[in-house]
A and B are shown apart, each in its own frame.
Chain A
């Protein structure tokens, strides 16, 4: 994801702005890292350049 996406995304639980911790950056994009909500404390992973902003109870990879 591009760092400028931070202006567009929010915590899905309380709509608070998120904080970004970058683990891996390639060609100006964040490939791996963690987004966290300073309000509720929830964390959201960034993997393969894609932030997973599903609420925790929907995060399982299973379809159902």
Chain B
């Protein structure tokens, strides 16, 4: 998602719909998240990707690290695509059905485009892209619960766009009890994408 808000993202959405109307497909943000996780993780055993979509990031992390990678998504079409890629797919709402201390790492590329509530599209692709009015619809609930599912020494890799409010997300993560490092940053025409590594303090 490297486009701007409004008409640009709609045009891009329409273009994506020609390819797959229901499941977000790998883009620049996916590549950045996979690369950051693969480079930073040392011998993870069990990894969760929340909102795995097509399953591409989960597949990359499994291939590069040999870790067991579970992919969860709200969208049943995404769960099927991820499973077809060989990812262990679970249909879930964020971290709801996962055990305490189960994961060495949790990855999340959240839906983050700020969206006018009068302008929402009410379908699966909207769920994959829209972060609600402030772009942080799912980031807050995710940060409140993710510490619970981390094993000792576990880490979170969270993609943040400048469109979502970088400083606010860092602040939310710190308030939720994490130390925050930026392990990747890339500039695109309409946004800056960062990968934050969060460790419980």
B-contacting residues of A (Cβ < 8 Å)? 1-2, 5, 7-12, 15, 48-55, 58, 61, 63-64
Neighbouring B residues of A12 by C-beta, 8 Å = 92-93, 96-97
CB distance B93 to A55 under 8 Å? yes
| Chain B count of residues within 8 A CB distance of the other chain | 26
Instruction: Render B107-130 as a binary contact track against A, CB cut-off 8 A, 1 for contact.
Output: 000000000000000111011000
- Interface status of B102 (Cβ within 8 A of chain A): yes
Interfacial residues of chain B within 71-120, with CB under 8 A of chain A in the complex: 74-76, 79-80, 83, 88-93, 96-100, 102-103
Cross-chain contact B102 with A7 (CB below 8 angstroms): yes
DSSP class of B's interface residues: helix, strand, loop or mixed? Answer: mixed
**B170 lies within 8 A of chain A by Cβ:** no
Q: How far is the CA of A52 from the CA of B89 in the complex (A)?
A: 9
A54 in contact with B83 (CB, 8 Å): no
Known: A5-B70, A8-B46. A50 touches B99 (CB 8 A): no
A11 to B100: give the CA distance in the assembly, Å: 12
8 contacts between A and B (CB under 8 A): A8-B99, A8-B103, A10-B98, A50-B80, A52-B76, A58-B93, A63-B127, A64-B122
Contact B97 A50 (CB under 8 A): no
